[in-house]
Structure 1
């Protein structure tokens, strides 16, 4: 019974197995049919609708690379993904091996797909609900470039088809190159060259073994393995796996693996965002490029842009600004900017737009070198230059006294004050500019005209203040003290004309632009700019601004503006409300401009030009920028000559008065002195000696200052300049400022004397006569008599002419009369062809 049961069970099981085999055979048959249909019909149809494998070769979408003048990367400009291509020959061997070891060890053996990997990936459909894993480098390339990141069986099929097509069309090295240029490495970084620059600050061709292993591990899960992610140490385990696989595949030795693992915990990555070098300058360049080539080309065209920037100098300048601003933040100075240019070419070598670009507390991303701010006294050189163009000289004397100027229609009177509240009286332009005295600067712009000054500044490159009617409506005499708004970049390049002999230079930021294929699109050729001022005028300004003695009174002999061993032309500026503080200066080799203040335009608490604020930054930056340059000076051009001038009046030296040496344009040398004078004074009273007293040698000589200024801006006929001078003189204790104007009352104020011929002189029959006549009032008539007979008369200068007399001795008499009816005469004896004292021969 038991035996029969077992036999029956065995037959039932056998029958069931036969039925199962039949079912499997049936499914197998249908599977073969399905595979056949897919292979013969579906796959070709699908392939027909797939992207062309040719599109795997990227021809656009490359980042525009911004480089400094020495080829150091500053930034990549891109639309969505930052991508910089690299040739496979430039990829280090370790990086190739690390990528293959961790991602696709059979890369050089398969035909685009790995059977076991594909089966492993498809099996996930039935366990996880989606397909993943097992992708070769070729498949990953297809996914990154041609397909979406969708996880499905059909995407795997598409990926398979395209991978096979790509493997047939391209070599393994070409595929590996495309993969390395397309793989994701974290954030918007695409390609190993970009990743190397972002994480290590170098080109991928310079990566070592450990750095190569680290980057090779990123593409599997860049959002996890990037040191900038929320799991900043996850790369360590991943890199450990990469090194192990490299050793297992025979790419490195055990010793190399262990050495790299020992270094792994101490790897230094760049600070996040540090790959954005010189951000304000890069944004400035980007705007220029977009204007020239369009936004799309800049973001996707793969341009290579070599700029003028010196990254090493830039980073030093940036650090100096941050350091110096931190020292004065208690003085409510929170920000600063720097520009360094080559004054010969206008090339921008450094542009620091704020103390820190990524600080939101004070709008750090605002580029203050391009912001409109009031320049204070740093504008004054343009006024003085205009004056030199119009005939004034460095020794021209002007009165620094409290003076009232008309404020314009509907405006109150303008009463400028000096920085220190003092008034110095007589001051020559060299010392007025050197010490940055305000009142003389206002007088000077009144004398030469606001429009003329605007034209001078505009021609030199100060484009923010064009000499238009609109500008003239909004600026006045205070323009010379910085009453108009300018940009630091423009102001610095405008100063370059002072340093380079008078040539305008415009700011240059780009040296060369190449397209993604290396074709040269543009290249700057160095050339001389337009000469906008003469070399003599440029020299006079630079010489004054570099004269440490000329600024000694206000700045002292050892200010931050004085750099021993270097001749620096430099000017400071501070607005009267202390919202802006500037220092602009340099040499023939470098020009440096600095601004400090607050982006919100709030006033600084305390700042002293030449001591704090912009000056410490300027000093440190100019020293750095001139490192490696031999000291140079501002040599006088051929049109300059040196002349001794009176220390008080600035006119030609005379009468053994104190004098000094001054530079002049040869076409504009001062003449005689009508300011610092010696006057002939009556012996017994402090009045002018009359001509008769002078003729009789009855006088003394005394030193006086005769100061007269006309008011060129008076609107009511009043000479407020002279009124101010007289007010100042009344408070001065020096009597030399009070020369006498009246003559002594006892003698005749009219005097005449013979200059030719002289008394007792022998002349020919026809001879020239010349008379000198002086009076305290207008002379109306001069008459000439010979032996009592009138032979000539004159009613105006010159009192000279020709007369004829017979041989013999004659009496010549000159008579004069002035407007006040004073009369006088002078008689001499002469001989015509005979001695003056000969006697007539007696008649027999």
Structure 2
């Protein structure tokens, strides 16, 4: 028994020794494998240096900046409409000249733990950024004020993992070199607030025509919300209503962090903000529409500082003519309480925009910059051709098909019957399709949609480019009379 056990152990020992010797012989016969293991750490350091540390800018350069090149927007004849970024207009001010309410608003919306972290916020900001990156397959925000300062002043706008690592390293470095108040001061003097306004002092002058010292809570909360997306949240941009929503969010955050009371927040929301009139821009609604599209495609930094030269389809002569015409017609209708108007002129063959008037006066307060041509509106009878075109395409009708324009009601499940009427309150008997469309009769149009089905018209509208009409279950037969919402530009 013992002999058997001893023999078994001896056999296992011989096998183990044999395997060790074999492995050793392999290493000896293939020395490059051993060298690879030794060189791997050095290779990682070498690669890291070239990817991350090579040409890493010094935080000492934070007081320096390069003047970016403007993006110019021209009309179809090469006439300048606007410099999206004419020059980097910056007036640095010490932190002592910046009101406490401005600092509090900025910290509340951008980085509430600014005075507690050391450059990055792994619990709140970085974790959110990592999760968003994994789930959406793109790098997201989550940056502290220090990181944003580094991005704005020292790094390129590209969104890559390598740049994010460089940003984190530099944020730590900045925190070692500068006290918190100095970092906040540099941030408020460096970040973009839209267009030519870089820094809080220039932003106060651009939007309100005053010094930063004179800003009140309502104005400070509006400005504090701009740096995250200056084009999107600009009160002078294509969506001024978003500036108001962003301001409310800033006030809510300030209230949560006990900087202001609930009453102060409500008073600031209700306070009417008087903006400084912007000049030096032609066809402003169109320019902001173009800028928004450029930002969507290339990003804020490229558009504001990349020196793009953008030739558009706009005809400036026609633009100025229709702008004056709209203003004159609205003035004539004042007694009827008509206060606004908009117009879009396009080239039917290509869809090119020749003129765009989003409101009677872009610079009028409080909502002159709101662009009606890009907003959702009911199209009325202008959508009827989509319905009739579908019937012709399906060969259900021809231009000569007769429709009975008589009193007609359509059954609605669990709802009263739908009984459309014509705009003139009359019935016109038997009419051909071409006459029904030409005279915009409602009853024949509803009958045409009944034959086409709402589902098929929604699909046809989408094929035409009317992508705001999507879910067929939301619409009924009134869709052909303008029951959905579309954008004029579509």
TM-score (norm. length: structure 2): 0.47
Structure 1 length as normaliser, TM-score? 0.28
Higher relative contact order (CA 8 A, sep 6+): 2
Q: Which has the higher helix share?
A: 2
